[in-house]
Amino acid sequence: MHEIVTLQFGQRANYLATHFWNIQESYFTYAPNTEPSIVDHDIHFRPGIGTDGSDTYTPRTIIYDLKGGFGTLKQRNALYDDSTDASQRPPGIWNESGLTTIKQQPIAPTPYQQNLDAGLPTSQLRKEQVRYWSDFNRVFFHPRSIVQLNEYTLNSQLTPFESWNAGEELYKDVDREADLLDRDIRLFVEECDSMQGFQIFAGVDDAWGGWTERYVDSLKDEFGKKGIWVYGIEDERAATREKRIARKANAARSLSQISDLASAYVRLSTLPCRLPRYVQLDEESEWEVTALMAAAVESVTLPMRLRDGVGRGSSMARFEQTLNADEGRNVWQLGLNVDWENLEQKVTGQANGDPLGGGVRGEDEGDEDDATTFDINFTPESSSLLPNTLALADRRQQRKHIFAQIDTSRHPKRSSNGVSPYQPLDHEDLLRRRYDEKAIVERFGIPLGFQQLDAYPADLFRKPSQDAAHTNRSQYLALTAGFTTSSVARRTVHELRDLVTRYSRAVDVEEREELYNGLTEVGEKYAFGWEEDDSGEDE
């Protein structure tokens, strides 16, 4: 079934993953005699049996968060609730009559969650109503998916979970007491028929970066032949200069070490450096910030979840082969567009330049001009913290080479008729095109729009011609999202390197040289033509 197991590390990652699971849940069809979804649910969901013997279907995920980070979410839900009345429990060894029970005041569920639990209709959520990621969660999780780390408390001022080393040490301590892979991972992996690999959502600019590095290292040792994709979230929101540089130091260590272990590393900024006017984003709302990321992540990976016989699908291995090949370019850029014009047009069959079946561009069509230019680029920037750097507009005018790109266009009105079969390039063709310095651009067309759920921000995307009243909000959007490997990665990685090794107090003198060399090596994988003679040293 080509299953994918998901890992979620930290509060911000859980916000992103919750949006992801809500979107997956929206693909389920419950009404009888309804045409099944084109999405294969078995890739991300697992069958099971509840405590009452009924069949269950829950995400293949393990969720890690700190004490207090789960909000109203309980480890055991309605599917796995085996609680009984205290008077009906058999007597224990201890005399409970002399015991005093101290309970922490439970967090009250939001009206949205109360309606979900009662099976009542829900109304559109607002950002003021979202306190935790569990406040907008719409799926049930298996009890073994919930892992609380009690050593730290969420948002603690006394022992903040911010230092990269703190996350690394926490992993070592927990793993020493209970082998994490055996305790948490083994169940989900062994029940898979033909697992593709792991997708990991993680904050990487605080202590979760150190935790993630140790976890990925363990996965690499145990499941070396499986894909390991890390979506590393970096907080770009306003803070003091010292705080922002400290975040960058953690992000730099994560990028240098995790990218060397993972098969794909996608840097995600909480605040892209440029937003089109049709995006209305409150950067202080974790709910909105991660919703924007989720739209891109879920859309670009949609071809990996298509049912057999629906059309041209793909896989983690195929994405890696196209974007990485043998060059080791596993740091990918993520981009997103909302296709407002295409949303107004009904598309049937195949359209010129955007074949429904997709495919790799022809011999004379594979240059940069053929690649998609995205309105939203999620790659974090460091230049604003560096003195004497080119202005953002000037940097965008610099030459750029696209090594490879995979983009997915999803359209609510596109017909599935005329889907062409998938005929991928073989390994020799990929290498030949790279040798000829031609970009490999692969496109997918999916007849499935992006549904704006009531658990998703209502005004995040607003049609340019639409006024603030937002009276004609479309339930489904046409989106194009893509992964790209390009020479831009060299600049962004080297700017991060220069910032951290020159100005960060969080990096010890002994670590500076190692970090500098590591990030230089990562960046040089994306040098092209005019850049190849540049050694990456200070000028």
pLDDT for 135-160, tens place per residue? Answer: 999 999 999 999 999 999 999 988 99
Q: How many domains would you assign to the chain?
A: 1
- More confident call, 332 vs 392: 332
pTM above 0.75, yes or no: yes
Question: With the CA atoms of 163, 169, 175 and 176 taken in that order, what torsion angle do they form, in degrees rounded to the nearest 10?
Answer: -160
Proportion of the chain above pLDDT 90, given as a percent? 61
- More confident call, 52 vs 471: 52
Q: CB of 212 within 8 A of CB of 204? A: yes
Among 3-12, 424-433, 503-512, the range scoring the smallest mean pLDDT is 424-433
Q: Give the Cα separation of 460 and 276 in Å (integer).
A: 11
Residue 91: count of CB within 10 angstroms of its CB? 7
What is the mean predicted confidence (pLDDT) over 97-107? 64
Among 166-175, 228-237, 471-480, the range scoring the smallest mean pLDDT is 471-480
pLDDT surpasses 60 at 345: no
Helix (H, G, I), strand (E, B) or coil at 398: coil
Let me know if residue 160 belongs to a domain. yes
- More confident call, 533 vs 484: 484
Let me know if residue 150 belongs to a domain. yes
Rounded (5°) CA angle 503-509-510: 140
230 by Cβ neighbours in 10 Å (0-12 / 13-18 / 19+) ranks as buried
Let me know if residue 93 belongs to a domain. no
pLDDT surpasses 60 at 307: yes
Residues 6+ apart with CB under 8 A from 74: none
Query: Using the 8-state DSSP alphabet, how is residue 531 labeled?
Result: G
pLDDT surpasses 60 at 536: no
Query: Using the 8-state DSSP alphabet, how is residue 306 labeled?
Result: B
Residue 29: count of CB within 10 angstroms of its CB? 12
In which band, very low, low, confident or very high, does the pLDDT at 51 lie, cut at 50, 70 and 90? Answer: confident
Let me know if residue 109 belongs to a domain. no
Q: Give the Cα separation of 275 and 315 in Å (integer).
A: 30
Helix (H, G, I), strand (E, B) or coil at 47: strand
Let me know if residue 91 belongs to a domain. no
Q: What is the pLDDT of residues 182-212, one digit of tens each?
A: 999 999 999 999 999 999 999 999 999 999 9
Q: Give the Cα separation of 538 and 448 in Å (integer).
A: 49
Structure tokens at 447: 């007849």
Alpha helix locations (H) across 66-141? 111-118
pLDDT surpasses 60 at 347: no
Let me know if residue 101 belongs to a domain. no
Query: Using the 8-state DSSP alphabet, how is residue 390 labeled?
Result: P
Q: What is the pLDDT of residues 440-469, one digit of tens each?
A: 888 899 989 999 999 999 989 988 776 554
CA 457: distance to chain centroid? Answer: 18
pLDDT surpasses 70 at 54: yes
Span between the terminal Cα atoms of the chain, in Å:
52
Q: Give the Cα separation of 383 and 395 in Å (integer).
A: 10
Provide the domain limits for residue 372. Answer: 4-27+39-83+118-531
Q: CB of 223 within 8 A of CB of 198? A: yes
Q: Give the Cα separation of 404 and 484 in Å (integer).
A: 6
Proportion of the chain above pLDDT 70, given as a percent? 79
Type of residue numbered 441: V
Q: CB of 420 within 8 A of CB of 337? A: no
b/e sequence 426-462, b meaning 16+ C-beta within 10 Å: eeeebeebbeeebbbbbbbbbbbbbebbebbbbbbbb
Let me know if residue 174 belongs to a domain. yes
In which band, very low, low, confident or very high, does the pLDDT at 360 lie, cut at 50, 70 and 90? Answer: very low
Residue 430: in which H helix or E strand, if any? helix 427-435
Q: CB of 60 within 8 A of CB of 50? A: no
Residue whose C-alpha is closest to residue 484's, from 424, 430, 406, 370:
406
Let me know if residue 489 belongs to a domain. yes
Helix (H, G, I), strand (E, B) or coil at 185: helix
Report the pLDDT value the prediction gives residue 364, as an integer from 0 to 100.
Answer: 34
Q: What is the pLDDT of residues 225-264, one digit of tens each?
A: 899 999 999 999 889 999 999 999 999 999 999 999 999 9
Report the pLDDT value the prediction gives residue 102, as an integer from 0 to 100.
Answer: 56
Residue 502: in which H helix or E strand, if any? helix 488-503
Average pLDDT, the chain: 83
Q: Give the Cα separation of 310 and 39 in Å (integer).
A: 9
| CATH number, domain containing residue 319 | 3.40.50.1440
Residue 266: count of CB within 10 angstroms of its CB? 23
- More confident call, 153 vs 396: 153
pLDDT surpasses 90 at 397: no
Residue whose C-alpha is closest to residue 379's, from 228, 266, 218:
266
Residues 6+ apart with CB under 8 A from 64: 7, 8, 9, 10, 147, 149, 211
Report the pLDDT value the prediction gives residue 33, as an integer from 0 to 100.
Answer: 76
CA 444: distance to chain centroid? Answer: 19
